[in-house]
Amino acid sequence: MPPRLATLAPLVAALAALTAVARAAPAEAASLAAGAADTAAAAAAPTPATMLPNCTRFSAENATELEVFCLLDNTDFRLRISHTPTHSRLVVVCEPHDMRRTDYEALYAMNLRLGVTHSVVLHQCPLPDGTLRHFVQQLGVRGVRLVKVVSLGLLNDTMPADFLDGMDLETLHLDGLTRIQLHDDFFASTGSLHNLTITGTNTSLPDGLLRHTPQLRKLHIRNLNAGRLPVTFLHGLHNLTKLLATRNGLSELTREHFRDLGRLRHLDLYKNSLETLPGDVFASLTELEVLRMECNPFRALNETLFAGTPRLKLLRINGRLNVDVDVSSLPAGIFRGLSHPGAY
């Protein structure tokens, strides 16, 4: 028996067990386990001419979920797909994390035709070579609206400028970026992007990163450890309604930062390093309804702070970690002009 067979059999069994645990329906689990055993048995008796497939697919009878398990040299990675009519998702999980970009060729070779798939998640996986469009085409995937790349700080990758070309995404999450560098023109082709999340501990955002996304509605930047937000970073985002800029170590914000955010309704500045804010910093945010600023080391707040935000309904200033300022010590006139103040 070739050594690779000896390695594959326990892995197949492990995968079947894992899937069985994850499944609620015992009948399906049994049928899946049986299927896996058949595959292992078949693999154990190949004719000399047959080459062991690098990737194996499993699917229970009537299952809405398809799993593919690949073994390549010493690197294995899993591809998990679940399809339901309303919410379809493709998740690629890489274990261990040293999978190479070229290893995706093994998946492409399976000629999968996955069809309409709303979300694509790459979990701790290297970015595939070429564009994302090429990647999904190789898997027969269509209609992708959401892409999530979860790095958890493990990857060292550069996303090329054309990575998103031709994808027409609505939502993009880039989570846990540590060393990934985004090219300045990264979003040049994402005309329909509405929601964008970028998190990471050591990622620097190019000043002009969002200049191609005036249609953005929700933006979440977190844990960037940036210390500063480029003053032009949010310029042109006239349709932004929600901005979460939490845990970024920001110590300075000015009116100029928020210049174009006349539609913003929700602003979250939780856990930054703000000690003070200019009295007119929120002057452009005439539609603002929710403002969260807990866990900042504020020393004082200017009494004109909310003069330009008449629709403010929810204000959170004190956080558990911030005992220095409480609402009772705010300047007397600070809520002047608010119709629905509710401070927490």
Judged by the rule CB under 6 A, the positions of this chain that interact with ligand NAG are: 54, 61-62, 72-73, 105-106, 109, 156, 170-171, 178-179, 194-195, 202, 214-215, 217-218, 239, 278-280, 302, 304
Smallest separation (angstroms) from ligand NAG to the CB of 239: 4
Return the number of the residue (182 or 340) whose C-beta is nearest ligand NAG.
182
Q: At its nearest, how many Å lie between ligand NAG and the CB of residue 320?
A: 27
Minimum separation from the CB atom of position 210 to ligand NAG (A): 12
Place of tokens 């896996």: 36
Token pair for 168: 């027409």
Residue 294's contacts (CB-CB under 8 Å, 6 or more residues apart) are 270, 271, 316, 317, 318, 319, 320, 321, 322
Whichever of 114 and 146 has its CB closer to ligand NAG, that residue is 146
Which strand (E) or helix (H) includes residue 14? helix 3-22
Give 78's strand partners: 69, 93
Angle CA 218–338–282, to nearest 5 = 45
- Output the six-digit token pair for 151: 């790095």
Indicate the residue whose CB is closest to ligand NAG: 279
Nearer to ligand NAG, 131 or 304 (CB): 304
DSSP string, 46-104: --TTPPPPSEEEE--TT-SEEEEEEEETTEEEEEEEE--SS--EEEEEEESTT--GGGH
Q: Of 7 and 273, which CB lies nearer to ligand NAG in the complex structure? A: 7
Whole-number Å distance between alpha carbons of 12 and 317: 53
- Name the token pair of 190: 């994402």
Phi, psi (rounded to 5 degrees) for 29: -60, -45
At its nearest, how many Å lie between ligand NAG and the CB of residue 219?
Answer: 11
* 22 or 27: CB nearest ligand NAG: 27
Tokens of 337: 């002009």
Q: Which is nearer to ligand NAG, 278 or 319 (CB)?
A: 278
CB of 73 to ligand NAG, least distance (A): 5
- At its nearest, how many Å lie between ligand NAG and the CB of residue 181? 8
Nearer to ligand NAG, 136 or 196 (CB): 196
For the bound state, the minimum distance from the C-beta of residue 117 to ligand NAG, rounded and expressed in Å, comes to 16
What secondary structure letter does DSSP report for 24?
Answer: S
Query: In terms of CB distance, is 21 or 73 closer to ligand NAG?
Result: 73
We find the least distance from the C-beta atom of residue 100 to ligand NAG, in angstroms, to be 10
The Cα–Cα gap between 147 and 194 comes to: 12
Q: Confirm if 196 and 221 have CB atoms less than 8 A apart.
A: no
